[in-house]
């Protein structure tokens, strides 16, 4: 639910079939029967946005691997000018720990290409609307021409990522001139 001691007391609603949770904006002492009814109606009709967990935005966040938090997910991932490769991870996950140095190397390799973002998202303390992570790590590529995302299920060594991106990244194809050749 994302409820911490500092949030108590609170009123929350859960829609298990959608894995969504909602929080009433008013403090319990200020709630009325009418405001609770309006809240429930808004949850049912979809006019109230789900509550999503988010860490604070990291400062600074200009390293080779961009740290995405829940509140910044839409801004970074859905940017139509950039290709974004996101590693959704859990800090305790062994496979995630094994991938971490490779991911850092990948970020370092592409750090000068401002239109290709190598990012990580701690899915244990952050959430993004519409993102359902079922296992760790989950790797999803959001090219600038398909912000629905594409799962990366390939091999996970540095050269594998570089080869996969060279074939699938519109940004890298444009910079190599391949996209211009295809337009002819």
Q: What pTM value is reported for the model? A: 0.82
- pLDDT tens-digit profile of 151-161? 999 999 999 99
Q: What is the pLDDT of residue 156?
A: 96
> Is pLDDT of 108 > 70?
yes
H, E, C per residue of 93-159: CHHHHHHHHHHHHHHHHCCCCCCEEEEEEECCCCCCCCCCCCCCCEEEEECCCCCCCEECCCCCCHH
Domains defined along the chain, listed by start: 5-45 (no CATH), 66-183 (3.40.30.10)
Q: Directed axis angle between helix 94-109 and helix 158-168, to 10°? A: 60
pLDDT score for 183: 46
Most confident of 25-34, 146-155, 168-177: 146-155
At 3-60, the pLDDT tens digits run: 778 777 888 888 887 778 888 888 888 889 999 999 999 999 989 988 888 999 999 9
């Amino acid at each position: 639910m994302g409820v911490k001691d500092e949030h108590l007391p609170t009123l929350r609603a859960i829609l298990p079939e959608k894995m969504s949770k909602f929080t009433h904006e008013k403090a319990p002492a200020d709630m009325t029967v009418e405001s609770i009814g309006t809240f429930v109606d808004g949850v049912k009709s979809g006019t109230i946005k789900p509550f999503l967990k988010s860490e604070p935005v990291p400062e600074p966040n200009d390293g080779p691997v961009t740290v995405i938090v829940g509140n910044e997910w839409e801004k970074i991932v859905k940017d139509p000018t950039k290709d974004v490769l996101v590693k959704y991870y859990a800090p305790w996950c062994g496979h995630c720990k094994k991938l971490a140095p490779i991911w850092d190397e990948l970020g370092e390799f592409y750090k000068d290409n401002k239109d290709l973002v190598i990012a990580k998202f701690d899915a244990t303390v952050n959430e993004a609307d519409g993102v359902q992570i079922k296992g760790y790590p989950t790797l999803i590529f959001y090219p600038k021409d398909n912000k629905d995302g594409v799962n990366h299920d390939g091999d996970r060594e540095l050269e594998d990522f570089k080869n996969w991106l060279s074939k699938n990244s519109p940004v890298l194809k444009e910079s190599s001139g391949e996209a211009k050749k295809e337009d002819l």
